[in-house]
Every structure is written in C-alpha cells, then in structure tokens.
Chain A
C-alpha cells in the first residue's frame, strides 16, 4: 500500500512534508512526499486536518516538523521561514480579494502594484489574465464581481506572485454547484499549462477525479495512503474504491473520430475507448475520462450483438468481496509497462457464474454513454 516508487530520488522539485501536533480534539501526525509537478490532492472529510497541513506549508500556522520543496528547506528543527519569504501562491476558500483595490490592483499586489511594462512579466500577466478569462474585469471593484469571478481573480493573483508551489484550500467549496462547474474548466486548463506543483485540498471526490495526478488520503490527522491517483482509486482495500460512486480517472490522447455519430476515439495506455465528443476536440488533445466501477461489466468472450461500444481485453489483477453480495475487481488494461487500472463492481453471483480467477484474462464492457462528460 505504498505505491511511491515513482517518487524515489531524482525528482528535484519534490515536496517533502512532515507535521505533527495537537489540533483541537485529535493529534495530527502527517508525513508524505509529493511529486514536483502536477496536482497533488489532499483528500479527506472535514476536520481531518488537511487545511492545517496546507496552512503549515504556507507558514500561516506552526506545527512541529519539516517542510521542504526540492532543495530549499522552509521548516526544520533549526529553521522557520515566515510566510512572506516562502515562494508560494495561496488560494483561500473564500477569494479574500482586497476590497480597496481593483481587480488589476489585486492581481498586481505581489509586484507592488506596478503594472508590468515589458518582457517576461508582461507576458506572464497577459497569459494569466487570458487563461482565467479576466480581461473584461480588470478595472472592476471586487464587490461588483460574482463569486466565481472573484475566485478566478484570487487564483490569478496567486499565480502572478511567481510561486514555486501553488497551495489551494478548497477553492470551489464556497461556490454553488453551477459556479463550480464554470470554474472547473479553468482549473483543468491551469492543470495542463502549469509548470509548478500544486497542493490541492478538497473533500469533493469529483474535483480529485478531474484535477489530481497524485493523491494523499487523510483520515483523522493521519495519512491513510499516498500515491498516484489511479493507483489509489483502483486499490480495492481503500475506502474510496469501496464507496458506491468509486471510479478511476484515465488520461488519454484523442486518436480518431467518428464524425457521423459525434464520437471520438481515445488512446488510453494503448487501449482504445470510444465516447461522445460534445466539445469538438482536436486530434492529439489530452482528455481525462472518469470510469465508474459500476459502469464496468465483465464477460469471458467478446459478446455478439450488443449496444456497448467499448469491449476491451483486460487482465484481472485482484478481486475482493466488499460484502456478501458484491465484489470489487481490479483490472489491468492495455499493453506495455504503463498499464492502466480499472475497477469493476459486480455481484458475487456474476463473479461465481463467470468462473473468473485472479491473473486470468477477460473482457471489460463500458457503455460509451456512461463516459460522456457533462
């Protein structure tokens, strides 16, 4: 249960964190490493200590322990950098914009309010404004913005402080569901373009599925598991895999289209998925799909006439009974070393009827319509 092999040694920008201390009614004792690139989600129920960990990384709260980003040490036994000396960007749950400054003033706060004139600074400013769709808002006052707009400004403000690590504390949880759906695409774009690592605190699995690459599962002040997102999602021994809405996130590349039906083909670890393409993607676009365990069924042979478009050869990695009625089966998909993992939830009766065994081959069936993104 420690799939951290990919983190060993050579990741120069890796985040290395260990904190312990008393927090209200429980003891916090957390240590994990996260890669120096991509989004690491700190996931857990409310009150499990995830926000405290993030605040400690920022130096806004002091817990005993250490905090390192690559070779730079922000906290250890002898050192403690104050917040303003740490190269971070922090997005709070509430946008917390400065009400006495315009959107532009907020965005430029870290550069002392001076507008960028040329070169790198100007390019970065324009890039951030463009990426987050803030062009039309620049001269507005914060109290005239909607909740979603405010949070986008807050993200831009954090990015423009030129951070080496972006910390996001449930940036969507103060927003209503509709606004959240409006902002998620911005975050997904950010995820694709950002060169620095992100620590993303959330209690919403849907955000993890869409944004995270790496996952740290927290429970009552302890790290339950930590590793690449797909590995943890597909681990039948973890509660996220056993939950009713368990799913795995798969990263794929658009490799073909069926224009007549508005479908696209997605290459995932060498296997080909067919799914609806409502957004009109281009060839070679990276696309992330969510495959729910409940949408994957198994069969021994390729069935005849069926409505299901995705019938993929897989290997059964392991199977676990989650109760007397249901089984959770982990499947390996594709060829080569980079096999993707799938989860299938089925009844014990089906499992027995099919007479399947761990290590054996079978076919996974996934309805294309179930892969369609809202």
Chain B
C-alpha cells in the first residue's frame, strides 16, 4: 500500500468537504424549487426548468468563465466578500461551493421533481381532508413519498461535485488545502509526471464511481418495489 502523501490526503478531504457541503445546500435549495416545478401551473415554469438544466449541456469552462467574472472583485462576489474583508470569492473554498451548487443543481432538482410529480395530487388531497395544513402535509406525506427521489438526487449531486473539473479549474485554481480538489490534483500529478500518485487517485475514483452507480441501481430497484 502506498502511503497517502499530505497532498493526496488534503485533496481527498477537501473534495469530500466540498461535495458534502454542496449536497446539503442543494437539498435545502433544491427541494422547494423541485416542488414548485412539479406543482406550479405557471406557464413560464419550463423557462426556469430550462435555466436550472443549463449546466447539463453547457461546457464547464463556459460556466466557469462567467462564474469567475461574477465571483471576482468586480462582480457580486466582490461585494459579498467585502463583508468578510476579502476582495474576491474566486480562488476560495466558498467560491468553489457556489460554483458547485450551480453546476450540480439539475442533478439534484430533477430526480426530486420527478418524484414529486409521480406522487400525483391525491396524497396531498387526502392529507388535507385529514386536517393536515399544506406545510404539515408536505413534511408528513410529500417528503416521505419522494424519498427515493431525494436519495437519487443526493447521490448524483455528491458524485457529480466530486467529479467536477472544468468549473473548479476556472474559478478555484490550484491552491492546496483551499481549492485543490481530487480531479485537479490528478491533472496536476500528470502535468508534473508523478504518475504513481495520479494512478492512486484515478483508481480510487474508478472504485468510487463504481460504488456510486451500483448504489444507484440498487436504489432504483428498491424504488420500483416500493411503488404500487
């Protein structure tokens, strides 16, 4: 077993922190968004849905470029970071979190929206006839019934954030312990001809990706069994 160098350990820790934080934020933001997309009768909701889905088709470098501008000293990021006494959100961990949230949003929102839509109107109607307020019905009926969608969304959001490269490179750069995540580290190792380290990380990612896909498939099978 090759010992983990500090550099590798740091990259792994940073990646997990970034992915976990991003997933949590996405679940908090994505749930009301998915609910609105599933329930609203507004005609322009598909416009919002398209905007949410944009990162799926956009080249990550394009997204990264605009994020860089937005997060930089002349963008919104400059204004926000001024509260903390900094000049910019670019090339910071916080900047990476914002970028990852936008980049992975569709992968979390879509499965949750699908789950809310598959549920139909009836369970919420039943809950209302049993004296549950809309908020109570949401917590006691909609969330539990959409659980498979939440699991899929969380797994996809986490895995997708772990695998992101283009956006990170554009807005995060390569600062060890701050913005140097796994995918960037692998790139870096190859650039500097440290094939052994690159291999360790790459192989680790293969195993990780396999486990994620396996978990997803098992989940989906369970979903089908639960569905009536």
A83–B129 CA distance with the chains assembled, in angstroms: 6
Q: Which B-chain residue is minimally distant from A55 (CB atoms)?
A: B125
* Residues in B whose Cβ lies below 8 Å from that of A99: 145, 226, 228
Q: Which B-chain residue is minimally distant from A167 (CB atoms)?
A: B129
- Is there contact, CB below 8 Å, between B129 and A100? no
Q: Is A368 an interface residue (CB 8 A)?
A: no
Q: Is A109 an interface residue (CB 8 A)?
A: yes
* Residues in A whose Cβ lies below 8 Å from that of B132: 84, 109-110
State how many angstroms separate the Cβ of A358 from the closest Cβ of chain B.
49
* Residues in B whose Cβ lies below 8 Å from that of A58: 129
- Is there contact, CB below 8 Å, between A96 and B228? no
A109–B123 CA distance with the chains assembled, in angstroms: 12
* Residues in A whose Cβ lies below 8 Å from that of B127: 84, 109
Q: Is A11 an interface residue (CB 8 A)?
A: no
Q: Is A88 an interface residue (CB 8 A)?
A: yes
A110–B136 CA distance with the chains assembled, in angstroms: 11
- Which of A92, A96, A110 makes the CB contact (< 8 A) with B131? A110
- Interface residue ranges of A173-221 to B (CB < 8 Å): none
State how many angstroms separate the Cβ of B145 from the closest Cβ of chain A.
6
State how many angstroms separate the Cβ of B200 from the closest Cβ of chain A.
43
Given A96-B122, A143-B228, A158-B129 contact (CB < 8 Å) = yes
- Is there contact, CB below 8 Å, between A96 and B123? yes
Q: Is B133 an interface residue (CB 8 A)?
A: yes
A158–B130 CA distance with the chains assembled, in angstroms: 7
- Interface residue ranges of A204-240 to B (CB < 8 Å): none
Number of residues of chain A lying within 8 A (CB) of chain B: 23
* Residues in A whose Cβ lies below 8 Å from that of B123: 96, 98
* Residues in A whose Cβ lies below 8 Å from that of B136: 84
- Is there contact, CB below 8 Å, between A89 and B129? yes
Given A92-B122, A99-B228, A100-B144, A82-B130 contact (CB < 8 Å) = no
* Residues in A whose Cβ lies below 8 Å from that of B141: 98
A113–B132 CA distance with the chains assembled, in angstroms: 12
Q: Is B128 an interface residue (CB 8 A)?
A: yes
- Is there contact, CB below 8 Å, between B122 and A82? no
Q: Is B21 an interface residue (CB 8 A)?
A: no
Q: Is A90 an interface residue (CB 8 A)?
A: yes
Q: Which A-chain residue is minimally distant from B143 (CB atoms)?
A: A100
Q: Is B126 an interface residue (CB 8 A)?
A: yes
Q: Which A-chain residue is minimally distant from B122 (CB atoms)?
A: A96
A35–B224 CA distance with the chains assembled, in angstroms: 47
Q: Is A102 an interface residue (CB 8 A)?
A: no
* Residues in A whose Cβ lies below 8 Å from that of B228: 99, 143
- Is there contact, CB below 8 Å, between A83 and B144? no
**Binary contact readout B112-135 vs A (1 if CB under 8 angstroms, 0 otherwise):** 000000000011011111111110
State how many angstroms separate the Cβ of B134 from the closest Cβ of chain A.
8
* Residues in B whose Cβ lies below 8 Å from that of A59: 128
- Is there contact, CB below 8 Å, between B130 and A60? no
* Residues in B whose Cβ lies below 8 Å from that of A60: 125, 128-129
**Binary contact readout A95-139 vs B (1 if CB under 8 angstroms, 0 otherwise):** 010111000000001100100000000000000000000000000
- Is there contact, CB below 8 Å, between B129 and A90? yes
A88–B129 CA distance with the chains assembled, in angstroms: 7
* Residues in B whose Cβ lies below 8 Å from that of A96: 122-123, 126
State how many angstroms separate the Cβ of B48 from the closest Cβ of chain A.
26
State how many angstroms separate the Cβ of A148 from the closest Cβ of chain B.
16
State how many angstroms separate the Cβ of B195 from the closest Cβ of chain A.
50
- Is there contact, CB below 8 Å, between B145 and A110? no
- Is there contact, CB below 8 Å, between A161 and B128? no
Q: Which A-chain residue is minimally distant from B119 (CB atoms)?
A: A99
Given A84-B133, A92-B122, A143-B228, A100-B128 contact (CB < 8 Å) = no
- Interface residue ranges of B123-174 to A (CB < 8 Å): 123, 125-134, 136-137, 140-141, 144-145, 147
* Residues in A whose Cβ lies below 8 Å from that of B140: 109, 113
Q: Is A157 an interface residue (CB 8 A)?
A: yes
- Is there contact, CB below 8 Å, between B125 and A110? no
A85–B136 CA distance with the chains assembled, in angstroms: 13
- Is there contact, CB below 8 Å, between A161 and B131? yes
Given A84-B132, A110-B131, A100-B126 contact (CB < 8 Å) = no
Q: Which A-chain residue is minimally distant from B125 (CB atoms)?
A: A60
State how many angstroms separate the Cβ of B213 from the closest Cβ of chain A.
26
**Binary contact readout A145-175 vs B (1 if CB under 8 angstroms, 0 otherwise):** 0000000000001100100000000000000
Q: Which B-chain residue is minimally distant from A88 (CB atoms)?
A: B129
A99–B125 CA distance with the chains assembled, in angstroms: 15
Which of A84, A88, A92 is most buried by chain B, counting CB atoms within 10 A of its CB? A84
- Is there contact, CB below 8 Å, between B144 and A157? no
- Is there contact, CB below 8 Å, between A110 and B226? no
- Is there contact, CB below 8 Å, between B122 and A83? no
- Is there contact, CB below 8 Å, between A84 and B122? no
20 more CB-based (< 8 A) A-B contacts, given A60-B129, A89-B129, A96-B123: A59-B128, A60-B125, A83-B128, A84-B127, A84-B128, A84-B134, A88-B129, A90-B126, A90-B129, A92-B122, A92-B125, A94-B122, A98-B123, A99-B226, A109-B132, A110-B130, A110-B131, A113-B140, A157-B130, A161-B129
Pairs A–B under 8 Å by Cβ, sample size 20: A60-B125, A84-B131, A84-B133, A84-B136, A84-B137, A85-B131, A88-B129, A96-B122, A96-B123, A98-B123, A99-B145, A99-B228, A100-B144, A109-B127, A109-B132, A110-B130, A143-B228, A157-B130, A158-B129, A158-B130
